[in-house]
Structure 1
Amino acid sequence: MTPVARISAAIEILDDVLIGENAERVLTTWARGHRFAGSKDRAAIRDLVFDALRCLRSYCWLGGAGLGRPSGRQVMIGALRATGADLDTVFCEARFAPRPLTEEERAVVPDLEGAPQAVQLDCPDWLLPLYEATLSETAVAVLERMRTRSGVFLRVNARKSTLGHAMEHLENDGIEAVPHPLSETALKVTKGARAVARSQAYLTGLVELQDAGSQAIIDALPLEDGMRVLDYCAGGGGKALAMGARVDVDLTAHDVDPARMQDIAPRASRAGIKVLTARKADMASDYDLVLCDVPCSGSGAYARSPQGKWALTPVRLEQLTGLQSQILDEVAPLVRSGGVLAYATCSLFQAENTAQIEAFLDRHSGFTLEAQRLISPLEGGDGFFYAVLRRTV
């Protein structure tokens, strides 16, 4: 595909995404219907779509949509204006190119400096105060950071490898990576990220894809050999596998939707780690450590999952905080006396983090707070929060 044909494809896909369709699903459907598009074409189009979602408000402004509902065409016009590209070389009569600009589109002379701050930062108006309440003077820098793509991070499986050993194996497959300070097991990929899933280091379980901030959460847990550990909101099992790679524990994973755990078995086999998956009725009530990485707004990871910030509403945030409270109350009885309850989100909002922990401690006098930390995107990975609570009775 030519570059202009890729722009046309991105416009088509964005038109569906902008009316509420899931971006990943639309991209998959488009690819199935356009078999002629090669892997490089699909990757380039995906980048165009996700870059547009990260910078949606500013691109809309630059594309002439203002604060109204945009079209995919307006968003891509704004994206190209943001880079200083010559629009007439893209919107032209060339085959598969988007149609030439109209006089009305040419007449738009946007000034991003005159746009509201939330537009410049690509943030919904109602979310900006929530970021400011938590991040204070760093809020602008964090939101600016989340306008760009997240890095690709790997977790080195300490059961099978060391950082240096893993880096050598990755390099054999043309992948370059360097250690990252957020975690002693973290590598940041600097070259060849798209080849990771095909590399021998990945296929043989030396490394696993996992954000550095997520790895830092596992580093903070008081894990010891022989513990009975429950990953209560396990999803695909990333944190369960990270715990199992760090120490020799009796590891159980649970998720309210068992389908989310379907990848745990092959991932665990590749990593050389045993993970038991369990329904709620099958779980014990005396775990040494229970981790609940709860559903949340994802407000610390919008660089990675940008569609979430446009889908989130005040009602949905209220629903999420209610669910988080419910999960904490559900898992509290599963922790043995003297055991640990660990709470984690990929959110930067107080309502989901410190306020949630304070409310839990008010409801459960038998727990004390041992540690909590907000991991900022400015530290290099996604944004996360964790709290470590000890059951005293």
Structure 2
Amino acid sequence: MQPAARIAAAIELLDEILDGAPAERSLTAWARRSRFAGSKDRNAIRDYVYDALRCRRSFAALGGAETGRGLMIGALKAQGAPLDDLFNGIGHAPSPLTKTERATPLLETLPAAVRLDCPDWLMPMFETDLEAQAEPALMALRERAPIFLRVNTLKADVATALNSLASDDIEAKRIEGIETALVVTANERRIRASTAFESGLVELQDASSQAAVHRLAGQGAALDYCAGGGGKSLALAAMGYSVTAHDIDPRRMGDLPARSQRAGATVDLRSPDDLGDGEYDLVLADAPCSGSGTWRRTPDAKWRLTPQRLEDLTRIQADVIRSAAAYVAPSGRLAYATCSVFSCENDAIVDAFCSEGRWQVIDRMKLVPSERGDGFYLAILERNV
């Protein structure tokens, strides 16, 4: 596909997504019906779409409209691309720009929520909850997320993992302060086909998530109460825990047996009816949340979140922390986590739970999106004596 044809395809997809279609579903469906598109075409179009969704408000302002066409015009203006070469109406290229579309406002004159690509109703929450970190966090959410790997210490040390990645021309470097974390600096799309990944030397896992797991160091039986795909289950197993994984929707753990086998880890998958009662030294409840700390990875989620959905999530989170606490052994620890940066999903949930007098916080971690990882929250609790 020619560059202009890729832009036209991205415009079509963005219009679908702006009409309410999930981004990933639209991209997958387009790839299936567009057999003429090669892998480079698909990757380029995916990048266009996700970049435009991350910067939806600012690109719409630059492009003159909150449409697929407007977003792509804004994106290309931001890049300084030759618009007249790409929007010329020749072949599969989009039609030429209008006089209105050529006009370019100065972003610094626009409201902060537009410049920083934040829904208006969420801007006060970012400013109140993150204070001086609000603008850097929102700026980070406008950019593509780095690709992080966790070195699986059941099979390799960091040097061995780096050498194996290098043998497949994948460049990576250590993240200071997180002993198992690597950030990929070149050829990230080769990871899943690499020897290091296929042999279980590394796993894809955000660095902030790894930092949280390291704070849970200990021994004994651990329950990953909202396990999902099982990344934290595998990390806990690599630290020496005997790990049980649970999810209210067991289908989310469908890949975990294969991942465990590749990693050389033992993870026991159990149904909600087979968890025992108060037998775990550590219970990790990584609760469903807005995902606001990870919106650079799933940018359409930022625009789909509503006040009602956020309120619903806080009720779910209050139920999750209470339910998870029932499985903690008398001298054990309860860890509550989200990938949100909002206090209403984090401190407010934990503090309300502790206000009943039976639990106390012994450690908290709050991370905002940055080059070192996604936004993440962790509170570690123990019972009051």
Same fold (TM over 0.5): yes
Give the TM bin, normalised by the shorter chain.
over 0.9
Residue in 1 aligned with 2:311? 318
Using the TM superposition, give the Cα deviation of residue 279 of structure 1 relative to its aligned residue in structure 2, in angstroms: 1.1
1:246-265 aligned at under 5 Å gives the runs 246-247=239-240, 249-265=241-257
Aligned residues of 1:154 and 1:212 also touching (Cα < 8 A): yes
How far is the alpha carbon of 1:47 from its aligned partner?
0.4
- 1:98 is matched with which residue? 94
Aligned residue-pair number: 384
- Tell me the distance in 2 between the aligned counterparts of 1:304 and 1:62: 23
Partners of 1:182 and 1:379 within 8 A in 2:
no
Calculate the TM-score normalised by the size of structure 1: 0.95
Supply the distance in 2 between the matched residues of 1:331 and 1:93 (Cα, whole angstroms): 58
Given that 2:64 and 2:100 are in contact with CA atoms closer than 8 Å, whether structure 1 keeps it comes out as: no
Structure 1 position 322, deviation (Å): 0.6
SS at match of 1:235: coil
What aligned pairs does 1:24-173 form with structure 2 within 5 A after superposition?
24-65=24-65, 70-106=66-102, 108-173=103-168
Q: Conserved in 2, the CA contact under 8 Å of 1:57 and 1:123?
A: yes
Q: 1:361 aligns with which of 354, 363, 376?
A: 354
The CA distance in 1 between the partners of 2:177 and 2:22, in whole Å, is: 31
State the secondary structure of the residue aligned to 1:357: helix
The 5 A counterparts of 1:176-191 are 176-191=171-186
In structure 1, the partner of 2:339 is 346
Corresponding residue SS for 1:94:
coil
Tell me if the contact between 1:336 and 1:391 (Cα under 8 Å) persists in the aligned partners.
no
Aligned residues: percent identity? 51
1:221 maps to 216
The aligned runs of 1:265-280 (5 Å cut-off) are 265-280=257-272
Q: Structure 1: how far apart are the matches of 2:64 and 2:291?
A: 29
Letter in 2 for 1:245: A
Q: Deviations over 1:150-193 (max 9, x none)?
A: 10000000010000000000000110110012511000001110
The answer to whether the Cα contact below 8 Å between 1:338 and 1:392 also exists between their aligned partners in 2 is no
Question: What secondary structure sits across from 2:285 in the alignment?
Answer: strand
* Structure 1 residues not aligned, in runs of 5+: none
| Aligned residue identity for 1:360 | F
How many Å apart are 1:206 and its aligned residue?
0.3
Quote the offset at 1:223 in angstroms. Answer: 2.0
**Match of 1:184, SS?**
strand
Unaligned runs of 5+ in 2: none
Shift, 1:379, TM fit: 5.9
**Residue 192 of structure 2: SS of its match in structure 1?**
helix
Q: Which residue of 2 aligns with 1:22?
A: 22
Q: How far, CA to CA, are the matches of 1:40 and 1:96 in structure 2?
A: 17
> Tell me, what secondary structure is at the counterpart of 2:179?
coil
Displacement of 1:104: 4.0
Contact 1:252 1:277 (8 Å CA) reproduced:
yes
TM-score by length of 2: 0.97
1:89 deviates by 0.9
1:283 matched residue in structure 2:
275
Q: Following the alignment from structure 1 to structure 2, what is the Cα–Cα distance between the partners of residues 12 and 378?
A: 31
